[in-house]
Structure 1
Amino acid sequence: MEVSEFTNLNYYHRDLSWLLFNRRVIHEAKDPSNPLLEKLRFLAIASSNLDEFFMVRVPSIQSLARLQPKDKDTRTGWTQEDVLLKLYEINLNNTRLQYQYFNQLIEELTKHQKFVKSINELSAEQLQEADSFFYELLLPAVTPIGLDAYHAFPKLAEKKVHIFVQVHQGNRVERAVIPLPPLFSRLHQLANEQTYLFVEQLIIRHLPEIFVGWEIDHSFCFRITYDKDLEFREDTEEKLFTQMEEYIIERSKGLPSRLEISSEWSKEVEESVLILANLLQLKVRDLYWVPGPLDLTFLFPFVDSLAPDFPGLVFPRFIGNTHKELNGAELFQAIEENDLLFHHPYDSFDIVLNFLESAAADPNTIAIKQTLYRMAPNSRVVNALKKAAAKGKQVTVLVELKARFDEENNLHWVQELEEAGCYVSYGLHQLKTHSKALLIVKKDGRQIKQYVHFGTGNYNEKTSSIYTDISLFTAKKEYVADITAFFNYLSGYRQVPNYQRIAVSPNGIQQKLLEKIEQTIVHYQQTKQGAICFKMNSLTDKVVINKLYEASQSGVPIHLIVRGACCLKPGIPNLSETIEVKSIVGRFLEHSRIYAFYTNDKEADVWISSADIMTRNMLHRIEIATPIEKGPALDHLLTILDSFRKDRKKAYYLTASGHSRRLIENNEFSAQEYFIAHSQPNSETIIPMSIKENPNLLSKIRKIWQSH
């Protein structure tokens, strides 16, 4: 077996695997097919990703390392301290790569007469202008905070840049921190509109004017990330809304999980860093020396400010097919005739909004039921539900209050929905409702007609423009009956439904996947035909992974498209030889979940789902998986899946050592580029294409793995 730095057993560690996903995001800053400003945006995305990683995932490992220092992880055989050290090493390499690309891109930006300069690179005239800005605007807003017995150690703002300063006066040595004034941009644009300067550099230049009468020993910039994954314990005796308000306050008291430092190394600076780390109760493996400006998320507004003047340096504006022919009543009539399947954002999310808004306005609509997990600011979805309630329709909404980092936003929407007359439920005790479902009930004379939407992504029109997801509309009786029972189960009191078509977690989706994998194994053993193809964000559930290993040992070809963390190890002799794992990172965030079980080259049992194959989704969340029946919708979905399988241009393949590699072959097909090109208005469906499968593909891939 090939030795891996990510595991010594048959599973990769989830969090180390995720760090490799973030490295793939960083690598997009080097991809020549991406425009310059988009490359910078990918670096900002990687920084934002990593912030959340240190707010959620790393603190849990740190807690286990403190509480159970000798216990070993069941998947890798490592202690939690071992994991933290390996995480540190991998992330340090990621950071170095990220800043290498950052410096190269900032240099490339000078070709377009935009200059991000250090304080030492400014001309005398520019320096004079910058100094005037400091004295007139910055200095009044700067507040140094002493670190001594007469000043309580402050609760330093999370993810904000601070300046640490050591000063002395005779033999007296003191230390202080300066938070960057929050209402100022990190990059100050000089009057010529071509040159930008980091605000922290300007403040450091003027430290003597801030600490008048003291000598400046040294200074450096730092930034702290805090634990934001405080365990939420529900109390069935207290209203969940009130508990969540209290939880949000308690979460702000989380311990530090990471300290980032931007400074040239010196013994004196290192001593001050260790003093600061001790005050924050952090270990050396929690300290990251960053070779450049802290917090590259400042690139988000910077790129947005430049984009209007440099349209050629960003992705061309893209608007998905709005399907204007399916407007209002025409959409509902089309759903009655056939299941409809759409691929967002290539098919605009307006089709879903149109479905809901038309129902809200239709006097024949008598009820609307919907799950909500994350919503956009100024949400059209919420506005439609409020309008429907105002018109006397019965509107029932299951809002997940425990959606991480959206708790405050969802509390706000709950208040608005309830004030508008909607019935709001929070789901089931100790389970997050992560499913995406919408039911419309209409009266047609003496008949009742019902229409269902199932999705793989949130009802969020903002993220729907950059996340790829699948929507299914159906009016079939079995689906309608299932989703009616589903909503009644969550909003009222009844036994777990016996669903006819859909699978629902906890337990149901995992059991369904195991059942379908077993059926594929039996079919393959009898016919030597069949395959499995899964597309998801993460694959970490050990039970399903073991079943996939079993399928591989039976010879079943398995194609896994996993954007993020993957604990399964491909290419292990006598265990996973027939498994191929790849990740696609591109302009849009691959978010759809598709699970396909092929009986031959052209036929498959395919499901879409709100759930990734993660233990939390399988056992601790309310999720839905929906089968797609034979017909145009299934044909469309298989074409989509085949396009992802064909993608080599934006794909990374996971090796048995745990690294991701590009294939060495001349194949410039990108699924995302293909979908963009074939999503022009008035196109009815994505044009089917012929994809020739190479029977020796897996053996070729193994040779490439071995060559690395």
Structure 2
Amino acid sequence: MQDSPYTAKDYYHRDLSWLLFNQRVIQEAQEGEIPLIERLRYLAIASNNADEFFMIRVPGIQSLARMAGEKIDSRTGWTQEEVLEKLFAMQTENVAKQYNLYHYLIEELTKMGYETTTYQALPAAAQEKMTHYFQEMILPSLTPIALDAYHAFPKIVEKKAHFLVRVKDGDREERAIIPLPALFPRYIQVDGLKQVILIEDLIEQHLQQLFVGWRVVHSFVFRITYDKDLAFEEDTEENLFIQMEEYIQERSKGLPSRLEISELADHQSIDITFLTQMLELKNRDVYSIPGPLDLTYLFAYLGELSTAMPTSVFPPFRPYVNPQWLGTALYETLEKQDVLIQHPYDSYESVVSFIETAAQDPHTIAIKQTLYRMAKNSRIVEALKSAARAGKQVTALVELKARFDEENNLHWVQELEEAGCYVTYGLMHLKTHSKATLVVKKVGNQLHQYVHIGTGNYNEATAKIYTDISLFSSNVAYVEDVTAFFNYLSGYRERPDYQKIAVSPEGIRQMLVEKIATTAAFYEKTKTGHLFFKMNSLTDQVIIQSLYDASQKGLPIQLLVRGSCCLRPGIPNKSETIEVKSIVGRFLEHSRIYSFTSDHEEYWISSADAMTRNMLLRVEIAAPIEESQLKHKMAHIIQTYQKDDLKAYYLQDDGTYQRRKSEHSFSAQATFVAEAQQQQANQPKQSTKTNDDRPTWVRCIRQLWKK
């Protein structure tokens, strides 16, 4: 086993592993077969990912370093300060790779006729045009904020770029801060999209106009990230809605966690020292950026370019739409069999239609649903509101503590309640991360009940780019389990004993550990069997130890972990039979699958990753796939992922990830897209003729005219 820079023991550090994931996102921008705009988009995604990392993960380590900096981490053998130094080194490496690619791809974009340039490189006429634009539009919106004994150091707006300017008048030198105007785009069109410059470049060239009578000595751009993971202490005596409103306000008081600065000359170091002291940061929290700060500006720019350069984006993809999975046909199908669909290859319209049809059906008497992250203009929420207004009993379990969606969810809670929905917030001290819906219909004297259980959020927007799995069923055991699940969360009852599903806290971890052990024991006796797990992250030490134990019995284990993986493969006599790979592609791999093969095949889908917080601090659902036809589909999905060697990165025993491309490389995502398109092509054409089985008065008149 090789030495590893990511641990001194048998577990990789979660956050170092996450930085390696973001490095894989950056590395995707290197792939020449990917369209140019999409390659640039990967760099913007990496910047957005890093922002969240420094808002959520790093502040916790910084806090531990302040309180117990010399305390040894039991999993890695390092102190918290050593972890922060390693994070700094890795992120610095990521930034270097990211910006090398950025400059290269911007040059490639220039060759195609779309140039990002500088003010100084513009011809005189264009400079004059930009100077006029600055004076007319930008200058009135800029506000220099002096930094001296009479002006307190301001609260720097998070994630927004600012100038720090040093000015001089005779022997007197002072500093000032200038926020970039918030409502202007970062890129300014000189000649339409054919030629743009960044707004900070234009401002920098005209700084002297803001400091009349003073000489601008130098300037640079900086940006700050704050701690957004402040502890939320629930109070049983106060309404959770009000508590969340207060928490959102309190969160704005988080400490700085990262300072980004534009690349500097040596003589500017005194100003960096000044900023770090004012922000109470250390050198390992400061990142020198060799290019424009915050590449998320590319999202808007690339959005415009996509229209102008349609061949430089991924080709349009149309999901497979099965008419039997839509509207009333879906409910009729569920009376006979379960339905399993894989998003985005199978259209998410099935999930939306499942809820909209229930809302419109006069036989529906109740709808119950968990809501974690919803789309901005959510059709699902609108359907629930419509159902409530029609007199149906609608219960929505909204997770107010969904990180960064708190304000959005507070908004939806108000709308749902105003429409007449019953809104609950789940259980004390636990996040409800489950994805489940129950529809109850009354036809005559009979009740018909249907469930949906998924691995992804009820979000029509992200469903187009996230891979997830949905199970629909009217199976009595599923229905009774989901009914008990909702009653447990919304009222007062002891924890149910479920017939089929597993529910965390505790339940999913217990199920996984038991089935890992059973499969390993079977393999030890028969030398047949294997495990396949697919998830976003693997960090739970109990589950990792169970996998180590199973590997020691020789059980072949394949893990597809998109993000952080703390398990270390290749440890002699401990994890030699474990293979870990990660797929980064056009779609974000979000589905969670747990497959056990012994004397039979067993497949589970879940909302839960194998992370301690999912196992102990969240309400999650895992559901078995039992119908034979659906198990065949699950087997095909797994086998397709297992064959991927085009987009897959394999985790080595030293903690690094490597590609294993072959001469005839295979992509799971490309295969699923091709299959969906083939299914769509094979779909019988739907008649566009109007159904005249029930004549209307208009049709009757038309018949008279024909006579």
Identify the TM-score tier after normalising by the shorter chain: over 0.9
| Partner Cα separation in structure 2 for residue 636 and residue 212 of structure 1 | 71
Secondary structure class of the residue paired with 2:522: helix
Which position in structure 2 is the counterpart of 1:409? 408
Contact in 2 for aligned 1:26/1:42 (Cα 8 Å): yes
Secondary structure, aligned partner of 1:42: helix
Residue 616 in structure 1 maps to residue 613 in structure 2: yes
Q: Secondary structure at the match of 2:676?
A: coil
In structure 2, what residue type is equivalent to 1:355?
A: F
Give the C-alpha shift of residue 120 in structure 1.
2.4
| Contact in 1 for aligned 2:370/2:397 (Cα 8 Å) | yes
Match of 2:702 in 1: none
What CA distance in whole angstroms lies between the structure 1 residues aligned with 2:661 and 2:377? 46
Distance 1:430 1:167, change over 3 A: same
Distance in 2 between residues matched to 1:685 and 1:655, nearest whole Å: 42
* Structure 1: distance between partners of 2:326 and 2:380: 17
Distance 1:562 1:577 in 2: 17
Aligned residue number for residue 219 of structure 2: 219
Q: Would you say the 8 A contact 1:322–1:681 is kept in 2?
A: no
Per-residue CA deviations over 1:252-304 (Å, capped at 9, x if unaligned) read 010100000003322x2111011011100100000000000000000000100
The residue type equivalent to 1:645 in the other structure is Q
Partner of 1:70: 70
Partner Cα distance (1:47, 1:160) in 2: 13
Which structure 2 residues correspond to residues 136-215 of structure 1 after superposition, within 5 A?
136-191=136-191, 193-215=193-215
Equivalent residue number for residue 696 of structure 1: none
Task: Tell me the equivalent position of 1:625.
Answer: 622
Counterpart residue type for residue 47 of structure 1: S
The answer for unaligned runs of 5 or more in structure 1 is 687-708
Partners in 1 of 2:384 and 2:102 — Cα distance? Answer: 44
Query: 1:316 maps to which residue?
Result: 315
Deviation string, structure 1 residues 536-579 (Cα, Å, up to 9, x no partner): 00000000000000111100000000000000001111110000
Contact 1:563-1:584 within 8 A present in 2 as well: yes
Corresponding residue SS for 2:111: helix
Q: Note the 1:23-102 alignment, pairs <5 A.
A: 23-102=23-102
In structure 1, the partner of 2:240 is: 240
Tell me if the contact between 1:439 and 1:483 (Cα under 8 Å) persists in the aligned partners: yes
Residues 62-93 of structure 1 deviation map (CA, whole Å, 9 limit, x = unaligned): 00000111211111011110100000000100
Contact kept in structure 2, 1:19 and 1:91, CA below 8 Å: yes
| Match runs of 1:418-437 below 5 Å | 418-437=417-436
TM-score (norm: length of structure 2): 0.95
Counterpart in the other structure of 2:643: 646
What SS class does the counterpart of residue 119 from structure 1 fall into? coil
SS of the equivalent of 1:678 reads: helix
Counterpart-to-counterpart distance in 2, 1:474 and 1:534: 23
The gaps in structure 2 that reach 5 residues or longer are: 684-707
- Report matched runs for 1:475-494 at 5 Å: 475-494=474-493
Q: Distance in 1 between matches of 2:509 and 2:656?
A: 28
Q: Does residue 622 of structure 2 align to residue 635 of structure 1?
A: no
1:685 deviates by 11
Separation in 2, partners of 1:684, 1:309:
29
- Checking the alignment, whether the CA contact within 8 Å between 2:338 and 2:627 is kept in structure 1 is no
Q: CA deviation at 1:526?
A: 1.3
Are positions 1:679 and 2:676 aligned together? yes
Match of 2:525 in 1: 526
Task: Give 1:518 deviation, angstroms.
Answer: 0.7
Q: Matches of 1:102 and 1:464 in 2, distance apart?
A: 28
8 A Cα contact 2:10 2:75, kept in partner: yes
Equivalent residue, structure 2, for 1:11: 11
Aligned to 1:152, the other structure's residue is in SS state coil
Q: How far off its partner does 1:123 sit?
A: 1.4
Aligned partner of 1:309: which letter? A
Residue equivalent to 1:474: 473
Whole-angstrom distance in 2 between the partners of 1:319 and 1:415: 35
Q: Deviations over 1:556-612 (max 9, x none)?
A: 000000000000001111110000000000000000000000126xx4211000000
Per-residue deviation at 1:118?
Answer: 1.9
Q: Distance in 1 between matches of 2:215 and 2:531?
A: 68
Give the percent of matched residue pairs that are identical in Structure 1 and Structure 2.
59
Cα deviation code 1:105-149 (max 9, x no counterpart): 000001211100122221112211111111111111111111111
Question: Quick one: which amino acid aligns to residue 222 of structure 2?
Answer: F
Q: CA deviation at 1:665?
A: 2.6
Q: For 2:511, give the aligned amino acid.
A: K
Shift of 1:193: 4.0
CA RMSD of aligned residues (A): 1.2
Distance 1:192 1:485 in 2: 59
**SS at structure 2 position matched to 1:238:** coil
- 1:293 partner SS: coil
Q: Distance in 1 between matches of 2:524 and 2:263?
A: 61
CA contact (8 A) 1:611 1:624 kept: yes
Q: Distance in 2 between matches of 1:666 and 1:454?
A: 39
* Correspondence for 1:705: none
Label 1:16 to 1:193 Cα distance change in 2 as closer, same or farther (>3 A): closer
Q: Does 1:508 align with 2:507?
A: yes
Shift in Å, 1:310: 0.7
Q: Does 1:347 align with 2:346?
A: yes
Cross-structure match for 2:516: 517
> What is the alpha-carbon distance in structure 2 between the residues aligned to residue 207 and residue 196 of structure 1?
20
> What is the Cα deviation at residue 522 of structure 1?
1.1
Contact 1:370/1:396, CA 8 A, preserved across alignment: yes
User: Within 1, Cα distance between the matches of 2:489 and 2:208?
Assistant: 63
Q: Distance in 2 between matches of 1:384 and 1:684?
A: 31
How far the C-alpha of 1:666 sits from its partner, in A, is 2.1
| Equivalent AA in structure 1 for residue 303 of structure 2 | D
Secondary structure in 1 matching 2:627: coil
* Equivalent residue, structure 2, for 1:447: 446
Aligned equivalents of 1:556 and 1:477: distance in 2?
35
8 Å CA contact retained: 1:54, 1:258: yes
TM superposition score normalised by structure 1:
0.95
Shift of residue 325 of structure 1?
3.7
Contact 1:636 1:685 (8 Å CA) reproduced: no
Tell me what 2:127 maps to.
127
Query: In structure 1, what residue type is equivalent to 2:319?
Result: G
CA deviation after TM superposition for structure 1 residue 510, in Å: 0.3
Could you say which residue in structure 2 is the equivalent of 1:596? 595
- Give the conservation status (yes or no) of the 8 Å contact 2:645–2:666: yes
Conservation of the 8 A alpha-carbon contact between 1:323 and 1:681: no
Name the counterpart of 1:703. none
How far, CA to CA, are the matches of 1:526 and 1:481 in structure 2? Answer: 37
Q: Cα deviation per residue 1:138-171 (whole Å; 9 max; x = unaligned)?
A: 1111111111111111111100010110011111
| Number of aligned residues | 683
User: How far has the Cα of 1:664 moved from its partner?
Assistant: 4.7
Aligned-partner Cα distance in 2 for 1:67–1:61: 10
CA distance in 2, matches of 1:59, 1:611: 24
Q: Which residue of 2 aligns with 1:456?
A: 455
Distance 1:636 1:368, change over 3 A: same
Contact 1:648 1:667 in 2 (8 A): no
Q: Tell me the CA shift for residue 682 of structure 1.
A: 5.0
Cα deviation for residue 191 of structure 1 reads 3.3
Q: How does 1:554-573 map to 2 (within 5 A)?
A: 554-573=553-572
Match of residue 670, structure 1, among 655, 661, 667: 667
- Equivalence for 1:395: 394
Distance 2:193 2:415 in 1: 43
Q: Distance in 1 between matches of 2:475 and 2:187?
A: 56
User: What's the counterpart of residue 688 of structure 2?
Assistant: none
Show the counterpart of 1:692: none
Distance in 1, matches of 2:615 and 2:192, equals: 56
Structure 2 distance, partners of 1:667, 1:546, is: 36
Give runs of ≥4 in structure 1 deviating > 6 Å: none
SS at match of 1:679: helix
- Do 1:539 and 1:567's aligned partners in 2 also have CA atoms closer than 8 Å? yes
Q: CA distance change for structure 1 residues 568 and 207 in 2, over 3 Å: closer, same or farther?
A: same
In the alignment, the residues of structure 1 paired with residue 352 and residue 288 of structure 2 have an alpha-carbon distance, to the nearest angstrom, of 46
Deviations 1:215-257 (A, max 9, x none): 1111100000000001000000000000000000000010100
Structure 1 residue 59 displacement after superposition:
0.3
